[in-house]
Amino acid sequence: MKSFLSDAAYFLFGSPTAKYIWKRLAAAVLTLAIILTIVFFLLRQMPIEGYFDNFDKMSEATINAELRKMGLLDPFPKQLGRFFGDLLKGDLGTSVKYRKGAAVATIIGEKCGISIAFGLSSMLFALILGLPLGGKMARSKIWDKCGTVFIVFVEAVPAAVYYIFIQMYGTDILGISMLFDKTKPLTWVLPVFSMALGNISYYAMWLRRYMVDELNKDYVKLARAKGVPGKKIISGHVFRNAFVPMIQYLPSSLLYTVCGSIYIESLYSIPGMGGLLVEVIERQDNPMVQSLVMIFACIGIVGLLIGDILMTVIDPRISFARKEGSR
Amino acid sequence: MKYTVEDRLGKKLENNIHEAMNTTMSDEEKFSFAPYDPTAAEKTGYTSYSYWGSTLRSFAKNKMALILLFVLVILIAFTILQPYLPGQYGANTVNNYPMSGMQINNMAPTKDNAFVTVPEDTVLVASKVKGFDDWYAVTNVLASIPKRTDFTVTEYGGDWCKVTYKGQDGYVKNDKLKLPDDTSAVPFSCKSNFNVSLYSSMEDMTNPDTNSGGWLYIAASDTEDLGSGNIRTIRETTVRTYPSEYGFVFGTNKIGQDLWARVWSGTRTSLYIGFMVAIVEAFVGILVGILWGYVRALDRILTEVYNVLDNIPTTIVLILVAYIMSPSVKTLIFAMCLTRWMGMALFIRNQIIIIRDRDYNLASRCLGATPGQIMMKNLLPYLVSVIMLRMALAIPSAIGSEVFITYIGLGVPLDTPSLGNLINEGRKLFSGAPSLRYQLIFPTLVLSVITISFYIIGNAFADAADPKNHL
């Protein structure tokens, strides 16, 4: 029993990987605190109209009284302290315009479900299409040419443009209405497809590059010399090795599904998180903008952290003792 | 001195060639061994390799990139010159029909406003157009014949009948007229149950489009004045829907602004944003990157700062800055520069670290070069090609960001056309009528050509600039 405990303790605190993870965690918390402070400071610069839903009709005295009641006239460090205190309690503030008086956390809770559903299905779609495309591009000239045209198009043309055209002509061809309707399964197709396009090109491009690198390595030659069938070399050796560097970004992508896609959700009027940010910006609802920005920033950092940790866990050859390479 | 040597050598070479061409060698000479010449052996030791020459040569091999470079240069030149070309409408001018005063809203693209061609010697009823001295508003309707009023048909034809009404000769459309059994026995009296128009020629020169107020226009220089409000064409000419030979090539938008002018003005704005962002990004990025890479004491601090800043999502910074500051082109450029210089700086830093400790830098230092000299003379020239690549790719992505920010509703105001707000305006329309899709398609077409060209040229240049490809 004692040895189990000490083993566990070593595994959790003593091993190099564990040490690295703890260090990263501490750094991430610190980074997060700094970023939240910066964002909080930036958000204090927002126009004060955004704190009231009937700003034009209010006198200066009432505005000042209200601002004082909200604590916005306090010195900055005091506001910041209160903000972090509330954050630890899980209180994100209340909306003033979008839905007056409702807690931001409640609104987000209602909204993020559909964003996650869309995000996950588009990710799945992108993986199913993007990985085989990348694999084919690494091996066949014709696929490489066609794939490159596709990738150049998706990378070079701003997403807004091809999203609009997909919506315009896609709805014509499928004969459905422009907007998303929960009850009609067909209206899921276009948003999911549009959201996946960028990721398809991303997965294809990187898998191709990593696979080309791997295909030139000695172990492939050895396997071929041994007489391992070509298909098995690709699926059993090359693909697995090439996929490792891509795993790093999967957790980020997964977490980012919570944020939803700003473009897609407002184009198709999907009641999710991405559209929400645009909407609260348009209506100048400061507390909502603030909490959403905070959440999006946190997700980015946490995603990167999990990605790095996942890499060390999956591929023991990778050591993060030194600074990892740039993406 | 240099020139005289070159001249002398050049002359000598020329003379040699002439000599070789003029003297005919005997077969014996041709097949005898040449004597040993040590200077000739030296010649192969010299190579004419130049980095930029090779880069250009290998860039020229990429036909696609070359074509796109050509397209891009023409497009940018045209964008700059467009306001100085003749017959351009203002980008923010709201165009009205002069006679009715209505906005020319959502007019489909037209080359020259042509409505119909009229032959020489056509008599038309004309009125003056306010503000357009060289134009007449015309119609060839001489009179309107009220319903159930008699007029005399003097010549019966298929589509048109020549008639006389109240002493005026003219033509009416042979449409729903009350005709006698024998139409060949002219003249006969006839009437219609509807109002009919008496035309001066066998052509209907009235604009059926009531949106424009029903007026058509003709250039005064093609006509002569007959007095009493009538004019006669002196050559074959065109009757137009708007008093100008220059049409709305890309159509007009919903308040009658010329889309052609707006698209090019928007391209100017977007390219300006793109270039400014690329230049600021390069300047700040290079400055920070070189310090970061070369000055060891700064490395630790700057790396930590980078880790913090890099973790803030770019979109969020763009949105926040655009939200907090008032929307303008400057705000957009500022917001984009704020997020982009970091990538450039990291990139330069990584490159500098690779070449920092090479022997030639050590040698320079031993010879007493200052750090400033090493940075500017030894390190920076090495990076010119990669910097240019980054800048080429920064332009399309800045243009893309502009479209995104405008889409969110935080872009430049509408009186500064940019490709972003043109696309956004076009997008709002397409759900309504398919006939208005041209308002989205033209700006997106220009945008796509620009972004794809920059992207492909940038990548082709990067390949060409890589010395590995210079063999």
pLDDT digits (tens, 9 = 90+) for B141-183: 777 788 888 888 888 877 888 888 877 788 888 877 777 777 7
pLDDT of A320 strictly over 70: no
Q: What angle do CA A211, A216, A219 make, to 5 degrees?
A: 95
Q: Shortest Cα distance from A228 to chain B (angstroms)? A: 33
Contact A164 B440 (CB under 8 A): yes
Q: Phi and psi dihedrals of A288, rounded to 5?
A: -65, -45
Beta bridge partners of A94: A103
Contact B319 A301 (CB under 8 A): no
**How far is Cα B297 from Cα A167, in angstroms, rounded to an integer?**
53
B409 touches chain A (CB under 8 A): yes
Q: How many CB atoms lie within 10 A of CB B65?
A: 20
Q: How confident is the model at residue B352 (pLDDT cuts 50, 70, 90)?
A: confident
ipTM score assigned to the predicted complex = 0.75
Residues of A in contact with B396 (CB under 8 A): 156
Task: Look at B211 and B222; give whichever has higher pLDDT.
Answer: B222
Share of chain A above pLDDT 90, in %: 7
- Extract the tokens encoding B184: 């060949």
Which residues 6+ apart lie within 8 Å of B368 measured at CB? Answer: none
Contact A281 B408 (CB under 8 A): yes
Task: Look at B97 and A123; give whichever has higher pLDDT.
Answer: A123
B249 touches chain A (CB under 8 A): no
Contact A168 B430 (CB under 8 A): yes
Beta bridge partners of B239: B116
DSSP three-state, residue B459: helix
Q: Shortest Cα distance from B342 to chain A (angstroms)? A: 12
Average pLDDT taken over every residue of chain A: 80
Instruction: Describe the strand order of the beta sheet including B177-178 as a list of residue ranges.
Output: B141-145, B196-199, B168-173, B160-165, B151-155, B188-192, B177-178
Number of cross-chain residue pairs from A and B with Cβ atoms under 8 Å apart = 96
Best of A293, A299, A324 to disrupt the B interface (most B CBs within 10 Å) is A293
Contact B308 A31 (CB under 8 A): yes
Q: How many CB atoms lie within 10 A of CB B406?
A: 24
Residues of A in contact with B324 (CB under 8 A): 42, 45-47
**CA distances (Å), origin A278, targets A146, A294, B315:** 36, 15, 12
Q: What angle do CA B93, B429, B405 make, to 5 degrees?
A: 80
E strands, B174-229, where?
177-178, 188-192, 196-199, 216-219, 223-227
What pLDDT score does B407 carry? Answer: 82
Q: Shortest Cα distance from A235 to chain B (angstroms)? A: 30
Most confident of A162-176, A293-307, B21-35, B215-229: A162-176
CB under 8 Å, gap of 24 or more: what pairs does A121-127 form? A121/A188, A121/A192, A122/A191, A122/A192, A122/A193, A122/A195, A122/A196, A122/A199, A123/A196, A123/A199, A123/A253, A123/A254, A123/A257, A125/A192, A125/A193, A125/A196, A125/A200, A126/A196, A126/A199, A126/A200, A126/A202, A126/A203, A127/A199, A127/A203
Which residues 6+ apart lie within 8 Å of B90 measured at CB? Answer: B258, B261
Q: Are B172 and B159 in contact (CB under 8 A)?
A: no
B289 touches chain A (CB under 8 A): no
pLDDT of B132 strictly over 50: yes
A278 vs B316, B408, B448: nearest CB: B408
B423 touches chain A (CB under 8 A): yes
What pLDDT score does B207 carry? Answer: 67
Q: How confident is the model at residue B471 (pLDDT cuts 50, 70, 90)?
A: low
Task: Look at A63 and B279; give whichever has higher pLDDT.
Answer: B279
Match 């004692």 to its residue by tokens: A2
Share of chain A above pLDDT 70, in %: 93
pLDDT of A12 strictly over 80: no
Q: How confident is the model at residue B308 (pLDDT cuts 50, 70, 90)?
A: confident
Contact A293 B303 (CB under 8 A): no
B346 touches chain A (CB under 8 A): yes
**How far is Cα A159 from Cα A202, in angstroms, rounded to an integer?**
13
**How far is Cα A156 from Cα A179, in angstroms, rounded to an integer?**
27
Average pLDDT taken over every residue of chain B: 82
What pLDDT score does B267 carry? Answer: 93
Residues of A in contact with B408 (CB under 8 A): 262, 278, 281
Q: How confident is the model at residue A326 (pLDDT cuts 50, 70, 90)?
A: very low
Alpha-carbon dihedral sign for residues B47, B52, B57, B61 = positive
Mean pLDDT of A218-241: 87
DSSP three-state, residue A253: helix
**How far is Cα B380 from Cα B307, in angstroms, rounded to an integer?**
25
- Extract the tokens encoding B101: 């005063």
- Extract the tokens encoding A29: 């918390």
Peptide bond between residue B187 and the one before it cis (omega within 30 degrees of 0): yes
Residues of B in contact with A262 (CB under 8 A): 315, 408
B303 touches chain A (CB under 8 A): yes
B328 touches chain A (CB under 8 A): no
Contact B323 A35 (CB under 8 A): no
Q: How confident is the model at residue B211 (pLDDT cuts 50, 70, 90)?
A: low
**How far is Cα A246 from Cα A210, in angstroms, rounded to an integer?**
9
Contact B313 A35 (CB under 8 A): no
- Extract the tokens encoding B126: 């004309």
Residues of A in contact with B316 (CB under 8 A): 39, 293, 296-297
Contact A161 B403 (CB under 8 A): yes
What pLDDT score does A258 carry? Answer: 79
Q: Phi and psi dihedrals of B414, rounded to 5?
A: -65, -25
Alpha-carbon dihedral sign for residues A93, A97, A101, A107 = negative
B311 vs A47, A168, A301: nearest CB: A301
Three-state SS string over B374-430 comes to HHHHHHHHHHHHHHHHHHHHHHHHHHHHHHHHHHHCCCCCCCCCCHHHHHHHHHHHH
pLDDT digits (tens, 9 = 90+) for A120-153: 999 999 999 999 999 888 888 899 889 989 998 8
Mean pLDDT of A99-119: 84
Instruction: Describe the strand order of the beta sheet including B223-227 as a list of residue ranges.
Output: B114-118, B237-240, B216-219, B135-139, B123-128, B230-233, B223-227
Pairing of strands B151-155, B237-240: unpaired
A293 vs B320, B444, B448: nearest CB: B320
B255 touches chain A (CB under 8 A): no
Q: How confident is the model at residue A37 (pLDDT cuts 50, 70, 90)?
A: confident
Contact B452 A157 (CB under 8 A): yes
**How far is Cα B149 from Cα B195, in angstroms, rounded to an integer?**
9
Which residues 6+ apart lie within 8 Å of A109 measured at CB? Answer: none
Which residues 6+ apart lie within 8 Å of B69 measured at CB? Answer: B453, B457
B471 touches chain A (CB under 8 A): no
Contact B312 A152 (CB under 8 A): no
Mean pLDDT of B308-328: 77
B308 touches chain A (CB under 8 A): yes
Q: Are A94 and A287 in contact (CB under 8 A)?
A: yes
**How far is Cα B335 from Cα B317, in angstroms, rounded to an integer?**
7
Q: How many CB atoms lie within 10 A of CB B438?
A: 18
Which residues 6+ apart lie within 8 Å of A90 measured at CB? Answer: A105
Residues of B in contact with A326 (CB under 8 A): 346-347, 350
Residues of B in contact with A48 (CB under 8 A): none
pLDDT digits (tens, 9 = 90+) for B362-417: 899 899 888 888 888 888 877 877 888 888 888 988 998 888 888 877 788 888 88
Residues of B in contact with A31 (CB under 8 A): 307-308, 311
A161 touches chain B (CB under 8 A): yes
CB under 8 Å, gap of 24 or more: what pairs does B183-186 form? B183/B156, B184/B156, B186/B153, B186/B154, B186/B155, B186/B156
Burial of B468 (0-12, 13-18, 19+ CB in 10 A): exposed
What pLDDT score does B208 carry? Answer: 65
**How far is Cα A194 from Cα A169, in angstroms, rounded to an integer?**
12
Three-state SS string over A69-134 comes to HCCCCCCHHHHHHHHHHHHHCCCCCECCCCCCCCEHHHHHHHHHHHHHHHHHHHHHHHHHHHHHHH
Contact A158 B303 (CB under 8 A): no
Q: How many CA atoms lie within 13 A of B468 on its CB side?
A: 3
Q: How confident is the model at residue A327 (pLDDT cuts 50, 70, 90)?
A: very low
Best of A23, A41, A152, A157 to disrupt the B interface (most B CBs within 10 Å) is A157
Q: What angle do CA B263, B268, B270 make, to 5 degrees?
A: 90
B365 touches chain A (CB under 8 A): no
Best of A148, A155, A252, A294 to disrupt the B interface (most B CBs within 10 Å) is A155
Mean pLDDT of A296-324: 70
What pLDDT score does A324 carry? Answer: 42
Match 């070369």 to its residue by tokens: B294
- Give the nearest chain B residue to A159 (CA atoms): B400
Contact B320 A39 (CB under 8 A): yes
Q: Are A128 and A270 in contact (CB under 8 A)?
A: no
What pLDDT score does B212 carry? Answer: 62
For residue A188, the one-letter residue type is: W
What pLDDT score does B302 carry? Answer: 87
Task: Look at B153 and B71; give whichever has higher pLDDT.
Answer: B71
B44 touches chain A (CB under 8 A): no
**How far is Cα B178 from Cα B162, in angstroms, rounded to an integer?**
15
pLDDT digits (tens, 9 = 90+) for A52-100: 767 777 777 887 887 777 777 778 888 888 888 887 777 777 777 777 7
A281 touches chain B (CB under 8 A): yes
Mean pLDDT lowest for which of B73-87, B143-157, B334-348? B143-157
What pLDDT score does A316 carry? Answer: 66
**How far is Cα B259 from Cα A149, in angstroms, rounded to an integer?**
30
Helix, strand, coil share (%) of chain A residues, nearest 5: 75, 0, 25
A84 touches chain B (CB under 8 A): no
**How far is Cα A92 from Cα A105, in angstroms, rounded to an integer?**
6
Beta bridge partners of B170: B163
What pLDDT score does A11 carry? Answer: 67
Q: What angle do CA B370, B373, B375 make, to 5 degrees?
A: 110
